[in-house]
């Protein structure tokens, strides 16, 4: 999938996403936060894209997709009548960025690999282990770790765009988990949007 198509997919899903908890409740507020964060990253992605910054556009669209898919999996959001699309980077081939962006793509991809590793090591489940919240919190951490591993594999094969998307997507899940109170930070607060 091309970078612009990733953004368009995220935008369409956000337009269709409905908040499931009642308005005025704590869960309703969390749902609104998750949807608003995903929308903010989508908007940032389109701004970057319009300015020719394909690297940051890809990272923003992927991060926003992580937030959206977290909200859908947690039951805070729903896509009425349809299932969410696959992760925007699944099975896609990107158009390589212009040579002028190659160094930026390499630097950002490697930095985001380190950031996601740090993020995974900086969180623990907040709810009690045997509760539904505790089980979902462990799932969030597992998703972050899986996308870190998948991104490293993509990086090792030279698929830098896919690696950056995977690292960004996984970090989006962890960030949403922290923001919604399912994950507790043990350090490195500066790499989360709290």
Three-state SS string over the chain comes to CCHHHHHHHHHHHHHHCEECCCCCCHHHHHHHHHHHHHHHHHHHHHHHHHCCCHHHHHHHHHHHHHHHHHHHHHCCEECCCCCCCCCCCCCCCCCCCCHHHHHHHHHHHHHHHHHHHHHHHCEEECCCCCCHHHHHHHHHHHHHHHHHHHHHHHHHCCCHHHHHHHHHHHHHHHHHHHHCCCEEECCCHHHCCC
pLDDT value, residue 46 = 96
Split at pLDDT 50, 70, 90, the class of 93 is: very low
pLDDT at residue 23 is higher than 80: yes
pLDDT value, residue 90 = 57
Domain limits for position 161: 3-89+97-191
Summarised one tens digit per residue, pLDDT across range 125-138 is 999 999 999 999 99
pLDDT at residue 86 is higher than 70: no
Domain count, the chain: 1
Q: And the tokens for 119?
A: 């993020």
Distances, alpha carbon 176 to alpha carbons 33, 96, 100, 107, in Å: 9, 29, 33, 25
Task: Tell me the average pLDDT across 162-187.
Answer: 95
pLDDT at residue 172 is higher than 50: yes
Among candidate residues 2, 153, 140, 166, the one with its CA nearest the CA of residue 73: 140
């Amino acid at each position: 999938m091309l970078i612009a198509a990733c953004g368009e997919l995220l935008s369409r899903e956000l337009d269709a996403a409905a908040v499931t908890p009642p308005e005025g409740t704590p869960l309703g507020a969390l749902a609104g936060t998750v949807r608003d964060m995903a929308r903010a990253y989508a908007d940032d992605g389109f701004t970057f894209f319009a300015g020719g910054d394909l690297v940051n556009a890809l990272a923003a669209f992927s991060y926003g997709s992580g937030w959206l898919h977290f909200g859908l999996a947690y039951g805070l959001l729903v896509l009425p009548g349809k299932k969410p699309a696959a992760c925007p980077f699944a099975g896609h081939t990107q158009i390589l960025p212009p040579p002028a962006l190659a160094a930026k793509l390499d630097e950002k991809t490697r930095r985001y690999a380190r950031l996601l590793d740090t993020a995974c090591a900086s969180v623990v489940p907040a709810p009690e282990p045997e509760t539904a919240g505790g089980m979902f919190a462990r799932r969030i951490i597992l998703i972050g770790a899986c996308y870190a591993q998948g991104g490293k594999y993509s990086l090792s094969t030279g698929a830098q765009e896919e690696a950056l998307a995977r690292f960004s997507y996984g970090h989006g899940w962890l960030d949403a988990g922290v923001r919604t109170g399912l994950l507790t930070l043990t350090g490195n607060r500066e790499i989360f949007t709290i």
